[in-house]
Amino acid sequence: MAQYLLALYRDYGVPVPPERSEQVWAAVNELGDKLEEAGAFVFKGGLQGGGESATVVRPSGGEFLLTDGPYAETKEHLAGFWIINAADLDAALEWARLAAAAEQRPIEVRPLFGGDLDDAIRLG
């Protein structure tokens, strides 16, 4: 069984009405229960604030440069994620459909790297 990241992005400049927020949280909690029951749940996390809460650390000439804000300039920022177990990409995409319906937002699906150091070097 492989692990997948289901990433949720949000435009923090667009306010969310309280009634929509309540609806989304109820649907997300229901999805969490389904993930648990199916044995697919591994981990979830929500991130504080939008990109303004981020700090980026970059190597720079033997030192490190710290900058405020997100890694990339964009309207939408990573807001939260799930790590799930799924038999294959099709199964992960089905969970992503449920997550997109619950969140009422797009969900990015990415497989987690399951190799070792030699595999990482070989793949570059």
List the CATH number of the domain containing 99: 3.30.70.1060
Number of domains, the chain: 1
pTM (predicted TM-score): 0.86
List pLDDT tens digits, range 58-97. 999 999 999 988 777 788 889 999 999 999 999 999 999 9
Give percent of the chain above pLDDT 70.
Answer: 100
Which residue segment(s) compose the domain that 87 sits in?
2-123
Q: Say yes or no to pLDDT of 114 above 90.
A: no
The pLDDT value recorded for residue 13 is 86
| Whole-number Cα distances in Å, 27 to 34, 67, 72 | 11, 36, 30
Statement: residue 30 has pLDDT above 90:
yes
How do beta strands 41-46 and 76-86 pair?
Answer: antiparallel
